[in-house]
A and B are shown apart, each in its own frame.
Chain A
Amino acid sequence: MNFDLFVIPFNVGLYFILIYVVVRSVIWFRDLSRPDKLRLQRGFFGKAFGQSLKEIFMESLIHRKILKTNFRLGYMHMSLAFGWFLLILFGTIEADIFGSKHLNPPHKAIFFKFFNPEHGKTGFEAAYSFFMDLILAFILSGLLLAVLKRFTSRVVGMRKATRLKFIDKVALTSLWLIFPSRLIAESMTSGAYGSGSFLTGSLGSLFATFLPVKEAAYPFWWLYSLSLGTFFILLPITRYMHIPTELFLIFMRNSGIRTGDRAGAFTEVQTFSCSSCGICIDQCQLSFSAGINNIQSAYLLKAIRNDDETYNIAHNCLMCGRCDVKCPVGIELYAIRMIRRRREDGYGRLKNIWGGYFRTRLPGKQEKKETKPVYNFLPEYDTGKSDVLYFAGCMSHLTPAVKNAMVKIFNASGVKWSFVDENGGVCCGRPLMLAGEDRQARELINFNSQLIWKTGAHTLVTSCPICYKVFNESYYLDARVLHHTQFIKELIDTGSVKMNFHRKRVVYHTPCDLGRNSGIYEEPREVLRYVASLEQTEYEDENALCCGGSLGNIKLDRADRQKIAEDAASKLTQNNPDYLVTACPLCKKTFSGATGTKVADIAEIVADAIAEPVRTKKHIIRSGSVKESAGII
């Protein structure tokens, strides 16, 4: 027996999805820019190919990153993906070895038991059947977790499970039906012929005691084939499109393709690679501190896929980057959200389900129109020549203790420095960028760049991580850009400033734009260890929290910000430190209203630790410019 009518749904689904994925990949390849095409070609015949295969095995099948983040969730994903892969692989081998001939069509392997019901009674065959049963049991254990997760996400250690749309639920149901129906169909066939191993064999014998298993098996083989067919057919318009797309994404990423600041084929591939695993929701402070559960990255990507309204989702985000660093698929969530913010809101072009199959590009692509210059009122002013520039930033002017502390440190260091925005400067441009107004931000960037160029400085020091990030990434400067924590670290390393050690217990809060978004974790902590006794918290490095004051979110109201700030502050000050120290004026301002613990910037702690120098006449004149001392400790 080689064929039965019930294999038709499976075959239709399988060949449909294979052809669809090939066509879709070709279209994506066509849509890539020319340099990206070359990268991909080079990657395909180079080292990237091997890396990609390894990554596909580790991430798409084993789900190593999810396992590391959350073992139970990882196990669920692994058992379904890796188990299914093993089932297909060893099923094919089984059909090849034990079948009537070699090189069988796929349905012979998938429905092997139906076509070879007597198989697996003795010897090597029985051992092989045992192995196949083991794989099936492995998948079913994961499936059990998946089903439980839908009802109570705590089972897999998640605060929230992703909400699904209707078509996703249909696909989910068909996916859930695949393995139980296989189990029952195989068991009944085994029961009828006395074959099968520990799972299918024993279950089959059990069924055989009270059911006419030979006849009863047939509908379940139909159900198995139908659920497979339905799943394959629905795959392109549901979140399960991530299964084929992720492979393509891994190849693209290993070939060196990055998101950049424009939407294109790569953003689209990333959008479809999201499996809605929900790790981004679990990481989001808007979710666990403020109870806002509809704007996380999984929902943003879902809205982009479904061509729903994204304006409110894209703008209601702190841009803290907690989800970005934890995404197990490695989707550049931060960059995609920024791209989304730069667009005019346009949506609703996908009229029905069929549109999901036939579209070749994501709709809603309008770029914002160019406008006339708006900041032409800015005056030209001269700051004179100097080696080191200090740019306090708008926020530091609202927390003058930071700025005054820096003035004290600069004066003690003996470098030739000048204060760019002593009397209030121009914004660095990042707040505009975060609001999606890149063109206007560019105007401010050009203005500030000219100002900095004219001074001929070799180093630019800023107190504000928001400014630091934009100076570093979007300015074209000859000067080296340092955050003040890095600058102080250099002063300590070179021995330029003498400091005392204070026996104060401090915890350090890593600002988002300094830590995750710029990669500076260690310098601030080293500075703190030098002047005070630094205590560890659970929220170090990539786990750092956002203070809630972020300028990244234009929509969040004050009450929710306060909730986030209080929650974050209470988590950081669990061990009652003397000071909650941060390195960002905005974090300082936000936290100071949210906790009873004293909040200070690193600069203030350092300024107070500076040992009083032997007073020379020159020194007295210089420190005379400090109007008020930072005086906190």
Chain B
Amino acid sequence: MEQFGFTISKPRVINYDANDRKVAGYILENEPSFGLCIECGCCSATCTTGSFTRFSLRELQILLKRGENEKVRDIIDRCMLCGKCILVCPRGVNTRNVVFLARKALKKYNGNEL
């Protein structure tokens, strides 16, 4: 793709050749409800952490599914696992386990265990 270089925002390309969706696969395997998410954003709206800093589970789930794991890595630890998001989720996603597994999977991904 042409990189013109005169825009102010960085070019955003979802590149499945470079992205690795193993992390999302691991989460889906251990928590099937991860696949139910419709990215409605209820979780982000009620989030305890989200009221203090940039943390949106909605965004993180999308990033994970795209395989953009590095963007998730720094942010996912901010979650306090308080569980409000489970109560508001209209799809019944076990969001706490998604976060928990994502942390675990990213650690494993680092150690090439996935």
> Cβ of B52: which chain A residues have Cβ within 8 Å of it?
377-379, 426
A135: min CB distance to chain B, Å: 53
Partner pick for A557 among B48, B51, B92, CB 8 A cutoff: B92
A290 at the interface (CB under 8 A from B): no
For residue B101, which residue of chain A has the nearest CB?
Answer: A554
Partner pick for B97 among A375, A397, A429, A555, CB 8 A cutoff: A555
> Cβ of A435: which chain B residues have Cβ within 8 Å of it?
81, 96, 100
> Cβ of B97: which chain A residues have Cβ within 8 Å of it?
554-555
How many angstroms from the CA of A150 to the CA of B103 in the assembled complex? 43
> Cβ of B84: which chain A residues have Cβ within 8 Å of it?
394-395, 397-398
Partner pick for A431 among B51, B78, B83, B94, CB 8 A cutoff: B83
B83 touches A394 (CB 8 A): yes
A400 at the interface (CB under 8 A from B): no
A377 touches B53 (CB 8 A): yes
For residue B51, which residue of chain A has the nearest CB?
Answer: A424
> Cβ of A558: which chain B residues have Cβ within 8 Å of it?
33, 92, 94
How many angstroms from the CA of A586 to the CA of B86 in the assembled complex? 11
A589 at the interface (CB under 8 A from B): yes
Partner pick for B48 among A374, A426, A549, CB 8 A cutoff: A426
B62 at the interface (CB under 8 A from A): no
**Do most interface residues of chain A lie in helix, strand or loop, or is the interface mixed?**
loop
B31: min CB distance to chain A, Å: 8
B77 at the interface (CB under 8 A from A): yes
A263 at the interface (CB under 8 A from B): no
How many angstroms from the CA of A379 to the CA of B52 in the assembled complex? 7
For residue A381, which residue of chain B has the nearest CB?
Answer: B52
A477 at the interface (CB under 8 A from B): no
Annotate A414-456 by CB proximity to B: 1 below 8 A, 0 otherwise: 0000000001111101011001010010001000000000000
For residue A428, which residue of chain B has the nearest CB?
Answer: B82
For residue B53, which residue of chain A has the nearest CB?
Answer: A377
Annotate B36-61 by CB proximity to A: 1 below 8 A, 0 otherwise: 00000000001010011100000000
A400: min CB distance to chain B, Å: 12
A398 touches B87 (CB 8 A): yes
Central interface residue in B32, B33, B78, B80, by most chain A CB within 10 Å = B80
> Cβ of A559: which chain B residues have Cβ within 8 Å of it?
92
Q: In chain B, residues 2-47, which have Cβ atoms closer than 8 Å to a Cβ of chain A?
A: 31-33, 46
Partner pick for A394 among B48, B92, B94, CB 8 A cutoff: B48
B29: min CB distance to chain A, Å: 13
A21 at the interface (CB under 8 A from B): no
Annotate B91-113 by CB proximity to A: 1 below 8 A, 0 otherwise: 01010110010000000000000
B105: min CB distance to chain A, Å: 13
Given A377-B52, A379-B52, also A557-B94 (CB < 8 A): yes
How many angstroms from the CA of A375 to the CA of B53 in the assembled complex? 10
A551 at the interface (CB under 8 A from B): yes
Partner pick for B100 among A375, A378, A398, A554, CB 8 A cutoff: A554
Count of chain A residues near B, Cβ 8 A: 32
Annotate A16-52 by CB proximity to B: 1 below 8 A, 0 otherwise: 0000000000000000000000000000000000000
How many angstroms from the CA of A395 to the CA of B88 in the assembled complex? 11
How many angstroms from the CA of A485 to the CA of B52 in the assembled complex? 30
Annotate A447-488 by CB proximity to B: 1 below 8 A, 0 otherwise: 000000000000000000000000000000000000000000
B82: min CB distance to chain A, Å: 4
> Cβ of B100: which chain A residues have Cβ within 8 Å of it?
435, 554
B109: min CB distance to chain A, Å: 16
How many angstroms from the CA of A427 to the CA of B97 in the assembled complex? 17
B82 touches A377 (CB 8 A): no
A458: min CB distance to chain B, Å: 27
B87 touches A444 (CB 8 A): no
Q: In chain A, residues 567-622, which have Cβ atoms closer than 8 Å to a Cβ of chain B?
A: 586, 589
Given A435-B100, A558-B92, also A551-B83 (CB < 8 A): yes
B71: min CB distance to chain A, Å: 16
B96 touches A394 (CB 8 A): no
> Cβ of A431: which chain B residues have Cβ within 8 Å of it?
80-83, 96
Q: In chain A, residues 524-568, which have Cβ atoms closer than 8 Å to a Cβ of chain B?
A: 549, 551, 554-559
For residue B46, which residue of chain A has the nearest CB?
Answer: A398
> Cβ of B94: which chain A residues have Cβ within 8 Å of it?
554-558
How many angstroms from the CA of A426 to the CA of B46 in the assembled complex? 13
B41: min CB distance to chain A, Å: 16
B110: min CB distance to chain A, Å: 12
A624: min CB distance to chain B, Å: 25
Q: Which 5 A-B pairs have the closest CB atoms?
A: A558-B92, A427-B80, A377-B53, A427-B82, A374-B77
Q: A426-B52, A427-B82, A431-B83 are in contact. List 15 more A-B contacts (CB 8 A).
A: A375-B80, A378-B52, A398-B87, A398-B88, A425-B48, A429-B80, A432-B81, A435-B81, A551-B96, A554-B96, A554-B97, A555-B94, A556-B94, A557-B32, A558-B33
Chain B residues with CB under 8 Å of chain A are: 31-33, 46, 48, 51-53, 77-78, 80-84, 87-88, 92, 94, 96-97, 100
List 7 A–B pairs whose Cβ atoms lie within 8 Å, in order of A's numbering: A394-B48, A398-B87, A432-B80, A440-B77, A554-B94, A555-B31, A557-B32
